[in-house]
Chain A
């Protein structure tokens, strides 16, 4: 059971990171590899604010998330909008190029030395033979709070509905007068902010090093494919499922095979349910339509 708790913590971070990744995939129609470097940047900026400037972790996290959300909008305007009309392949390679540039910038700005958030574990709560630290509860709460807020935004606001319209059919939305540029900026802001938040969470639990983005992008991709790139619920479930499977697998197989579990699941899903774990629902939707 303890490992399930570990998995929920891991899965919560994975769900936040993957949601940002899937949003861009769903609306801009390409795999944004640079998303991983936004996570790394978030981890580094957060640790600098906390460790170097002595800032409160929550304030530092908020500044990092908002700041990198804005940076995401700028980067999309500079790198992606000019080549958007050339299609997904060009956008994919642009994102790879941007990821490499961001990685180089991280090396130049922060150096190659690992950094660590000061211990912000807080109390350890024990019940029914399991334990969970305050910071893990905060991570789970923040992750699900953010995801719930995103759901509310998408379902309960005009801009949110516009985002869903663009995600559903870009051309139709444009014809119907949806402000596509505004929607695009909103998506980039949310996506980058979620990436930055995941980065800070990763840093709080582990170490902040320059490879943190590269280490996590494939797992994020696995969660996105597993969840089905078009379903928020699917992404959340996939993140949790992968996190729990990776951490529970430690009880049965050597933990060095942890990533193999994630990709084993990914391969199985690609073979059995190429549209993700919520594909049955999607088929029903298709029949109704």
Chain B
């Protein structure tokens, strides 16, 4: 009798699982948005969500995806890997999402295996981790530059500014160590630069006085700071408090927040620059169409420099078009269609509606987003990122100049 009950229970569970599978091609198409709305990435959270909502509204305005409404399901991961794991479990097990976007480096690394196991097509719109340099392209795609690019461009900026010796202040996390390690290798091995101190520290320390002193007192030409926002503010308060303000700083993109710019901008003569990715805003119909809709949603224009917002928009347009091309929300089929949507050959399109029309007409398409042409290489990484030198000007971040990555600088082995 006991065996019969167990068998019946097992059959019931299988049936329930099967039933839940049946609903995948019915009801709304569910796009997961797993993002740091709080924590280190919190300062960008509002813009990121607004951009994602603009994209989903565009999908629905064009008739939805596969004739079904699109629903954006938001989970705050608190900017932590733990939050990403629990948030992803909620999105997949409770909400039953069909695709995922919004995730950052630490979280992406934490859920990478599970994303593949569950076959959830994922676009990484805010993760530069070098872990994805050679491992994506099947289920995970990245539409921002790798931290390898960010590390190289940081070293390139340091070289071009004439810095021969640099001290490093690096928070111990995937998202901050990743570009910092590349920076260090390129700056020392390919440029002959000197690292006067390499100070690594944990987040959540009582103070950072000792760490800041160690770096700034090492007599460097500049200090390279790779830290999250929550650590960056007390670090810079310490920098200001101790009077190190005449030493220039190079930041990683994690510190590209208005609050950080205000702190630096409040000190006369202080200098902070970031070698970072930029948006492709010149003669780009996708950007031109996005700006007013974002402004309406966010009650203000999008930031002129890359604050992780427009990529959030691009990722859902790509996912919507990939589902349309695949004719299904099946994860493997959608993932297989993503490179076809993002890469040539095909008719170049700049919106979901145009892309859908071309697909309906039986044409291949090459979607050009708000941020770049979004062409992907064989491992799902952005092929040609747009880079820029960004600096604090009048208490705000501003693009100083767009630059090309120096082709003589190569990824460290």
Residues of the B chain whose Cβ atoms lie less than 8 Å from the Cβ of A174:
none
Cα A255 to Cα B201 in complex, Å, equals 5
Q: Which residue of B lies closest to A250 (CB)?
A: B210
A211 x B204 contact (CB < 8 A)? yes
**Which residue in B201, B204, B208, B213 is a CB contact (below 8 Å) of A212?**
B204
Give chain A interface residues in 112-126, CB to chain B under 8 Å: 112-114, 116, 119, 121, 124
Residues of the B chain whose Cβ atoms lie less than 8 Å from the Cβ of A112:
38-39, 42, 76, 78
B209 x A121 contact (CB < 8 A)? no
A-B contact pairs, 28 of them (CB 8 A): A2-B217, A6-B213, A10-B206, A13-B206, A112-B38, A112-B39, A112-B76, A114-B42, A114-B230, A116-B233, A116-B237, A124-B242, A206-B207, A206-B208, A207-B231, A207-B233, A207-B234, A209-B39, A209-B204, A211-B204, A216-B206, A247-B210, A250-B211, A254-B200, A256-B202, A258-B201, A258-B202, A259-B202
Residues of the B chain whose Cβ atoms lie less than 8 Å from the Cβ of A211:
204
**Which residue in A124, A247, A250 is a CB contact (below 8 Å) of B241?**
A124
**Which residue in A114, A121, A258 is a CB contact (below 8 Å) of B237?**
A121
B207 x A6 contact (CB < 8 A)? yes
Binding site for A on B (CB under 8 A): 38-39, 42, 76, 78, 172, 199-202, 204-211, 213-214, 217, 229-231, 233-234, 237, 240-243
Residues of the B chain whose Cβ atoms lie less than 8 Å from the Cβ of A207:
230-231, 233-234
Nearest-Cβ distance from residue A137 to partner chain B, whole angstroms: 12
Nearest-Cβ distance from residue A5 to partner chain B, whole angstroms: 8
Cα A32 to Cα B295 in complex, Å, equals 50
Cα A113 to Cα B228 in complex, Å, equals 13
Cα A207 to Cα B227 in complex, Å, equals 13
A119 x B240 contact (CB < 8 A)? yes
Residues of the B chain whose Cβ atoms lie less than 8 Å from the Cβ of A14:
206
Contact with B along A1-30 (1 / 0, CB 8 A): 011001001100110000000000000000
A215 on the B face (CB < 8 A): yes
B202 x A206 contact (CB < 8 A)? no
A205 x B38 contact (CB < 8 A)? no
A169 on the B face (CB < 8 A): no
Residues of the A chain whose Cβ atoms lie less than 8 Å from the Cβ of B229:
114
Residues of the B chain whose Cβ atoms lie less than 8 Å from the Cβ of A182:
none
Residues of the A chain whose Cβ atoms lie less than 8 Å from the Cβ of B201:
255-256, 258
Cα A38 to Cα B207 in complex, Å, equals 19
Contact A6:B204 (CB < 8 A) given known A113-B38, A114-B230, A207-B233: no
A226 on the B face (CB < 8 A): no
Q: Which residue of B lies closest to A243 (CB)?
A: B206
Residues of the B chain whose Cβ atoms lie less than 8 Å from the Cβ of A254:
199-200
**Which residue in A10, A111, A116 is a CB contact (below 8 Å) of B234?**
A116
Contact A205:B243 (CB < 8 A) given known A112-B76, A250-B211, A256-B201: no
Nearest-Cβ distance from residue A11 to partner chain B, whole angstroms: 10
Residues of the B chain whose Cβ atoms lie less than 8 Å from the Cβ of A250:
210-211, 214
Contact A255:B78 (CB < 8 A) given known A112-B38, A113-B42: no
Residues of the A chain whose Cβ atoms lie less than 8 Å from the Cβ of B241:
119, 121, 124, 133, 135
A206 x B210 contact (CB < 8 A)? no
A131 on the B face (CB < 8 A): yes
Residues of the B chain whose Cβ atoms lie less than 8 Å from the Cβ of A215:
204
Cα A135 to Cα B200 in complex, Å, equals 26
Cα A24 to Cα B360 in complex, Å, equals 73
Residues of the A chain whose Cβ atoms lie less than 8 Å from the Cβ of B214:
250-251, 255
